[in-house]
């Protein structure tokens, strides 16, 4: 589901450490050598031809939730996994999944135009004509609606864009907000539009974002053609993902389902995605001010804000049915610690044929399972239990993973060591995001994977390339930090329930940066023809992904002591706190500055009588906050993580495996059962998607968002909560250190 | 000639000083009061209706060099000035001015297209159909040529763009370089293209620069329509402006004329400007890499670099005639100091009808002359001689001003106190650039002119608006500096010969920032209809310009002691030296960084096998330079300017007028008769247009450009020259201080 262009990123501020003798963290010299031998065998197994054939099969027909081929794929995957020797089953849930019954958009004034709302089949693209099975272009979880209103162009439709509209003296009250895709997650656009009084929302793909501005359009090149449309969910996932009718619990047959009118994650206004060719008749007929330069897209015309004269009629009606989900779950039982689970996942459902999203990630996941099956036949036995998941219903709202994890919440809380996710995969640089206690582990894996194009290690390639892009200040950091940084996770794929709801240490991984990225994202053209012409065309990076994820699973499954490293986590927490203080100070300084400019008459001086400009008003200056609890807890965390590290290194392979029970719980310490303000489902106090970003992460979100949203009392409360979580983590590490043999 | 969007700028880092008792600098309390009364009378005289009628008359027909209406306008202006009571004459020169005989551009491959090369008449615009008198679209001083070659897109065609082309592995050798207008002065584009081996150059107006990206296009709005073309000179003016056949001397009948083949300021390759509609058939048919994001314009297509497959045939043949210039020069003799001259100028020639450029500046200049004529009738007598100039031939190459000033060089060196220039005028904020010794003077004037829209002083409006746009660091400077900064002058209008060749303290002034700017720059649509619909439509800012320039002339003419203030100059010189050191350090750090990245293999890591990328090579690290002579001289200047200021303030109105003879020479101290490296005509060591920017200024140019161009030995020599000039200035100020009564 997550846009390929917007995937994970690794920031690299690291000096090249001399290679240490290659003993894996958490292993003895001997078990390390054995492990590395098995990993070598593993890495030789995934085959590019099989990756290609998996993709051909899985993307042969549209396979969205509720479609025949979605079920067919699940059954085929399960059968394949069984044939590899794995214990595979299908777990079924049923969830609310609206599909369109009626869709209409007309421009009524000043020209008449009936929107096509359809992506044309292309002769050269053999699956693009499967009209009867394709989901039409729509945004899932939009409400029904029939509205006629003047149109206002709102740029990306972010909260900041509405501040700019206010400066221009333009309101969307009673209007249809026309937003372009990009920058902020699509579900934020109708949410913020509704908050400002819009009665409807249209989201179009400006050629600036993924069309001709970025390269040749399909089928000549990979980019989105004029009638291409991005489908996608607009469920208010920052409140909670998964089945809207069963928040917090698994959508099993007996579960209590909320009636439609009690569900909070549907949009408040009707919303529909359109192509730029369908948007142009509206955009061309807007008067009002020319929009700021940063708001202008790549259509050949001046972008005006409106409102009107373009007036549109939007009509939407949906089937509000519940549909079955088919999660495929396969297990390899652990030989030593069967109750410690290493979990891997990628979704298998798509919006249409979904060769890129998700099959380019699901196909390597299948190759991993096949390769592990091969190793089992050769005598390898993982110490811990390995679980391979192929999720259904990710696209509409992370349905399959969320319902499965909510159903098994108690077991997962008890047993889950880590969750490793992938989604659409591309070509280029390895990218990882996730729990910072696994950062060092990720770096170790990257050093053992070869980049197919350069034959360097994936680690070296990323490090060098990121160095080239770094600022001089960042480059200085390279020298002092041996590990590349991994980013924090927001949302947009199936790790969400694990990270944010259950506190299971998670990673999201993939390759990208050299491919065409999101050109056909969520369109009928994201198919086998497109992927094999423009993306990872020889599946070299599909193979690299299978190798990377596979050895991650093995290395976690076989470690004597789980390879969590907390000093990196502590270090990064300090940088987040510094960011938040900077945010706070910046807001204070800006407010003071604007207040003084209002007083001095700056906005009178800037008035252009031929251009409307509403000057800002004076605002209360943000009060100073007490960050001391957070600073103290972060210092405690630094001290405790250092102590654990010292004890761990001193004990070496003599450390008692019993400490793993504590390490498994380490990520759980970050949870607050009360959740974040106004969204109790999100329990993690360190990582969350932003309430107004949707996908983009907000670290230490309770504190950061209450400052951003100017709720000062709440900020104080959230500082205390976050500090308590970090203190709990420090306490756990102290206990772990003691258990290993520290003091 | 200078693009309205790119005019002067004032940076404001100033606190609002409490109004001092209003005694003008260089005046006694009593002479100040008298002066201010006359200025009040003056400011009441300019009339918006007359400004409009002047424009209607002067822009009624095309009036380029050599056209009947150019001469007619000159004669009309002279007659008007005489009718105002001024002693006006026409001074005639004849200069090389090529006009097109044959122009053809065809695309031969892969499609056939014959370029229109013509701006269509518009029914609503009454002068757009004067076809028989309009100069066709062309670039003056392109050589004749007939070339057929593949096309390469070179972005703005700056030296940096060619470095980027090198990274892409693309050469223009043997190709036609297709550049877009913008960023760098047009004459730089064929110059740099030829340096890189191109055989021809085309310059088109991308809608991103002045077309629909910026607003509605003409005639609905002010911006350039699809077939609009920007004419303009491509003479190599950074070598020397004026008649190419008479460098350094006046183009009088007896002057020795260089034969065509000895002239260095013609282009090396044929070059022609085109519309984007004529450019599109080439741009659409380029293969090769997608260009970097910053290179992409606003046409609805992916921008590829080429070369080809588009192949073009460019054919150009010119009449290489000499044409007459008609400068109109009017004098008001000084009653006390007739040998001290205050000079005012604006050009009257245009590329076509030229309502914006230059009539919006020339029309106010005429109103100033009329108003001064009125004051003379009322009994006002300027102490110094006032000279009003209406230049011909500015557009092709600053011909009229340069030839006049070269002809009268000896007198000007002896008598010229200051030169005040304007050109096309717009609406909004007052902008000034020029000699920093006049910065304080400009601030004083701005405080005595009312902004027509806000009724604040022009000074307050600029100060507040610039404050709003300033960085926090810049804002801090506001508190410590009472004067707003003025920018340094590069080139692009008639001040060039005064500032750069003769060392006459100069200012270039105008209003802008709220108008449509360059939408019709150098096209047939820059006419009365366009200007009166979209620019300073009620001529309120035309009136403000007449008021501003007029009281500048009066205040300079009547001051007992000329109001030069050198502490501002000294302060700014220190900032320029700091900039140059930063440039030098930055180049050194970047070279080291890139060399180390080459060594580390960064560019191997970044290679994308599906995208061509030529890695940079290691380069010699720039040596450290000895800036001490410049630092010492700048400190001397600070000391001497402080000493002069102290003496001046102590003497008050008792200061002897004899000191003015020294003050007049102060700007001459900055000259080096040997000129800048490779361009001896440019003698000013502090201000010059860049060799590779054309219009954009390079301060302390000898030093700055030798560092930019990595000529280290020359940098040492130029540091010595610049230091000597500053020392001469300091010595002069010491003498002036002594003369006034300092020590």
The pLDDT-based confidence of B21 (bands split at 50, 70, 90) is low
CA gap A536, A361 in Å, rounded? 11
Q: Quick check: is B399 in a domain?
A: yes
In this structure, are residues B614 and B604 in contact, taking their beta carbons and an 8 Å threshold?
no
**Which chain A residue has the Cα nearest residue B610?**
A514
Question: 3-class SS at A87?
Answer: strand
Question: Residue B577 domain-assigned?
Answer: yes
Asked if residue B304 and residue B182 are part of one domain, the reply reads yes
| The pLDDT of residue A6 is above 50 | no
- Dump strand ranges (E) for B483-556: 485-486, 506-513
Flag whether pLDDT at B7 surpasses 70: no
B93-97, B233-237, B339-343, B511-515: lowest mean pLDDT where? Answer: B511-515
Dist. CA B446–CA B430, nearest whole Å: 8
The four Cα atoms B278, B284, B290, B296 give a dihedral, to 10 degrees, of 40
- Asked if the Cβ–Cβ distance from B600 to A464 is below 8 Å, we say yes
**Residue whose pair of structure tokens reads 């560019």 in the numeric block:** B603
So what's the pLDDT on residue B479? 72
A546/A572 same-domain check: no
Last residue of a domain, one of B514, B533, B564: B564
- Mean pLDDT for chain A? 95
Residue the block writes with tokens 């230049």? B391
Q: How far apart are CA A661 and CA A651, in angstroms?
A: 17
Q: For residue A476, what pLDDT band results from cuts at 50, 70 and 90?
A: confident
Chain A residues with CB under 8 Å of B611 CB are 514
Domain containing residue B611: CATH number: 1.20.930.40
How far apart, in whole angstroms, are the C-alpha atoms of residue A163 and residue A142? 25
Please compute the mean of the pLDDT values over residues A690-713 and round it to a whole number. Answer: 96
Same domain, B618 and B584: yes
Cis bond leading into B148, ω under 30°? Answer: no
pLDDT for A10 equals: 39
Give the pLDDT band of residue A473 (cuts 50, 70, 90): confident
Spatial CA neighbour of A165 closest among A602, A606, A614:
A614
The C-alpha angle A349, A350, A353, rounded to 5 degrees, equals 120
User: Is B463 domain-assigned?
Assistant: no
CA distance A513 to A516: 8
A620-637, pLDDT tens digit by residue? 999 999 999 999 999 999
Query: B630 is in which domain, residue-wise?
Result: 567-740
- Does one domain contain both B417 and B550? yes
B245 and B158, same structural domain?
yes
Contacts A465 to B, Cβ<8 Å: 602, 605-606
Are B407 and B523 within one domain? Answer: yes
Do A33 and A165 lie in one domain? The reply is: no
Angle at Cα B451 formed by Cα B481 and Cα B39, nearest 5°? 85
Within 519-578 of B, beta carbons closer than 8 Å to A belong to: none
Q: Is B454 on the interface with A (CB under 8 A)?
A: yes
Q: How many domains does chain A have?
A: 3
DSSP-H helix ranges across A525-674: 528-534, 540-558, 566-600, 602-606, 628-651, 660-665
Whether A593 sits inside 8 A of B475 (CB atoms) is yes
- Using the 3D structure, point to which of B265, B294, B320 is the last residue of a domain: B320
**What pLDDT, on the 0 to 100 scale, is given for residue B286?**
98
The pLDDT score that the predictor gives to residue A121 is 98
pLDDT at B16: 41
Q: Looking at chain B, which residue has its C-alpha nearest residue A305?
A: B215
Domain assignment present for B477: no
What is the pLDDT, as a whole number, of residue A469?
87
Nearest CA in chain A to B298: A298
Q: Contacts of residue B467 in chain A, CB cutoff 8 Å?
A: 597, 600, 602
pLDDT tens per residue across span B352-369: 999 999 999 999 999 999
Is A215–B302 a contact, with Cβ atoms under 8 angstroms apart?
yes
- pLDDT band at A742, cuts 50/70/90? low
Nearest to B257 by CA among B199, B322, B318: B322
Q: Which residue has the tokens 């043997």?
A: B174
pLDDT of residue B14: 36
Least confident of A463-472, B22-31, B299-308: A463-472
The partner residues of B688 in beta bridges, in order of sequence, read B698
Whether A186 and A153 map to the same domain: the answer is yes
Whether residue B178 contacts residue B204, with contact meaning beta carbons closer than 8 Å, is answered with yes
Rg of chain A over Cα atoms, rounded to whole angstroms, equals 26
Domain boundary among B254, B286, B320: B320
A514 interaction partners in chain B (CB closer than 8 Å)? 608, 610-611
Task: Answer whether B688's CB lies under 8 Å from B676's CB.
Answer: yes
Helices and strands of chain B, counted as H and E runs: 23, 20
Neighbours of A256 (CB within 10 A): 7
Residue B742 has pLDDT above 80, yes or no: no
CA distance A605 to chain B (A): 5
How is residue B241 written in tokens? 């402006």
Does B458 reside within a domain? no
**CATH number of the domain bearing residue A368:** 3.40.630.10
**Same domain assignment for residues A297 and A365:** no
* Strand partners for B607: none
Distance from CA of A731 to the nearest CA of B (A): 42
Nearest chain B CA: its distance from A554 CA (Å): 28
Q: Which residues of A touch B216 (CB under 8 A)?
A: 290, 302
pLDDT at B20 over 60: no
Return d(Cα A447, Cα A431) in angstroms, integer: 13
Mean pLDDT of B493-501: 98
Contact B302 A212 (CB under 8 A): yes
pTM score: 0.94
The stretch B146-156 carries a mean pLDDT of 98
Q: Per residue, what are the HEC states of B232-258?
A: EECCCCCCCCCCCCCCCCCCCCCCCCC
Q: What average pLDDT does the segment A57-81 reach?
A: 98
pLDDT of residue A518: 72
CATH number of domain containing B313 = 3.50.30.30
Report if residue B393 sits inside a domain: yes
Same domain, A479 and A543: yes
Q: Is the pLDDT confidence value at B631 over 50?
A: yes
Distance CA A394, CA B648 (A): 80
Please report residues of B whose CB lies closer than 8 A to that of A604. Answer: 454, 456, 464
Distance of alpha carbon B689 from alpha carbon A47, whole angstroms: 62
Radius of gyration of chain B (CA): 26
pLDDT classification of A3: cutoffs 50, 70, 90: very low
Residue B155 has pLDDT above 90, yes or no: yes
Q: How high is the mean pLDDT of chain B?
A: 95
Query: Tokens representing A540?
Result: 């070299």
pLDDT class of B8 with cuts at 50, 70, 90 = very low
A168 shares a domain with A48? no
Which chain A positions have a beta carbon within 8 Å of B214's beta carbon?
290, 302
Q: Rounded distance, CA B452 to CA B427, Å?
A: 10
How far away is chain A from the Cα of B741, in angstroms, using its nearest Cα?
42
B461, part of any domain: no
Q: Residue B17: pLDDT above 60? A: no
Establish if B224 belongs to a structural domain. Answer: yes
ipTM of the complex: 0.93
Candidate from B296, B468, B597 with C-beta closest to A468:
B597
Q: Mean per-residue pLDDT for B400-417?
A: 98
In this structure, are B555 and B641 located in the same domain? no
Task: Flag whether residue B207 sits within 8 Å of chain A, measured between CB atoms.
Answer: yes
Strands B87-96 and B506-513: unpaired
Least confident of A268-272, A409-413, A512-516, A704-708: A512-516
């Amino acid at each position: 589901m997550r846009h390929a262009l917007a995937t994970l990123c690794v920031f690299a501020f690291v000096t090249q450490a001399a290679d240490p003798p290659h003993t894996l963290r958490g292993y003895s010299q001997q078990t390390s050598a054995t492990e590395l031998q098995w990993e070598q065998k593993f890495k030789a197994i995934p085959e590019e031809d099989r990756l290609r054939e998996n993709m051909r099969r899985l993307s042969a027909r549209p396979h969205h939730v509720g479609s025949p081929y979605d079920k067919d794929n699940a059954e085929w995957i399960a059968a394949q996994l069984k044939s590899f020797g794995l214990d595979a089953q299908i777990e079924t849930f049923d969830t609310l999944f609206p599909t369109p019954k009626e869709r209409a958009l007309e421009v009524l004034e000043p020209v008449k135009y009936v929107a096509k709302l359809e992506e044309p089949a292309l002769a050269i693209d053999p699956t693009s004509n499967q009209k009867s099975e394709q989901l039409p272009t729509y945004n899932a979880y939009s409400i029904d609606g029939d509205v006629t209103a003047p149109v206002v162009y709102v740029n990306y439709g972010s909260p900041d864009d509405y501040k700019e509209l206010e400066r221009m003296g333009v309101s969307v009250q009673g209007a249809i907000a026309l937003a372009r895709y990009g920058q902020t997650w699509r579900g934020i656009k109708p949410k913020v539009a509704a908050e400002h009084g819009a009665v409807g929302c249209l989201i179009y793909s400006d050629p600036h974002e993924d069309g001709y501005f970025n390269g040749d359009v399909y089928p000549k090149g990979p980019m989105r053609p004029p009638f291409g449309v991005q489908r996608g969910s607009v469920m208010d996932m920052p409140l909670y993902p998964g089945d809207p009718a069963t928040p917090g619990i698994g959508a099993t047959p007996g579960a209590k389902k909320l009636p439609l009118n009690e569900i909070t994650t549907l949009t408040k206004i009707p919303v529909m995605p359109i192509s730029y060719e369908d948007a142009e008749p509206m955009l061309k007929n807007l008067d009002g001010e020319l929009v700021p330069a940063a708001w202008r897209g790549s259509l050949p015309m001046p972008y005006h804000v409106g409102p009107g004269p373009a007036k549109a009629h939007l009509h939407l009606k949906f089937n509000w049915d519940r549909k079955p989900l088919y999660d495929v779950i396969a297990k390899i039982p652990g030989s030593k610690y069967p109750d410690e689970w290493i979990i891997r996942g990628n979704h298998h459902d798509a919006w249409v044929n979904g060769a890129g999203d998700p099959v380019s990630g699901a196909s390597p996941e299948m190759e991993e399972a096949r390769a592990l099956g091969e190793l089992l036949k050769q005598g390898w036995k993982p110490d811990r239990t390995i679980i391979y998941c192929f999720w259904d219903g990710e696209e509409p709202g992370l349905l399959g993973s969320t319902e499965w994890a909510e159903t098994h919440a108690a077991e997962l809380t008890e047993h889950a060591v880590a969750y490793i996710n992938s989604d659409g995969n591309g070509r280029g640089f390895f990218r990882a995001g996730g729990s910072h206690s696994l950062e060092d582990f990720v770096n170790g894996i990257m050093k053992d994977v070869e980049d197919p194009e350069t034959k360097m290690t994936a680690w070296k390639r990323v490090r060098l390339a990121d160095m080239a892009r770094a600022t001089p200040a960042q480059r200085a950091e390279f020298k002092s930090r041996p590990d590349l940084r991994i980013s924090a996770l927001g949302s947009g794929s199936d790790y969400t329930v694990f990270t944010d709801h259950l506190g299971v240490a998670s990673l999201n991984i993939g390759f990208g940066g050299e491919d065409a990225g999101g050109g056909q994202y969520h369109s009928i053209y994201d198919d086998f023809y497109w992927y094999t012409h423009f993306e990872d065309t020889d599946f070299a990076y599909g193979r690299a992904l299978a190798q990377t994820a596979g050895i991650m699973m093995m290395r976690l499954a076989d470690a004597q002591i789980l390879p969590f490293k907390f000093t990196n986590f502590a270090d990064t927490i300090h940088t987040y706190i510094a960011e938040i203080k900077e945010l706070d100070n910046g807001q204070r300084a800006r407010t003071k500055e604007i207040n003084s400019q209002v007083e001095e008459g700056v906005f009178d001086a800037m008035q252009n009588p031929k251009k409307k400009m509403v000057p800002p008003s004076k605002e209360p200056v943000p009060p100073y906050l007490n960050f001391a609890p957070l600073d103290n807890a972060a210092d405690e965390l630094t001290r405790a993580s250092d102590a654990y590290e010292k004890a761990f290194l001193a004990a070496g392979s003599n450390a008692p495996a019993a400490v793993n029970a504590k390490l498994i719980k380490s990520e759980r310490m970050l949870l607050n059962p009360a959740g974040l303000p106004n969204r109790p489902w999100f329990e993690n106090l360190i990582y969350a998607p932003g309430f107004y970003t949707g996908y983009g992460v907000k670290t230490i979100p309770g504190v950061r968002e209450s400052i951003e949203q100017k709720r000062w009392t709440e900020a104080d409360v959230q500082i205390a909560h976050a500090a308590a979580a970090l203190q709990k983590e420090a306490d756990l590490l102290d206990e772990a250190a003691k258990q290993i043999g520290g003091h």
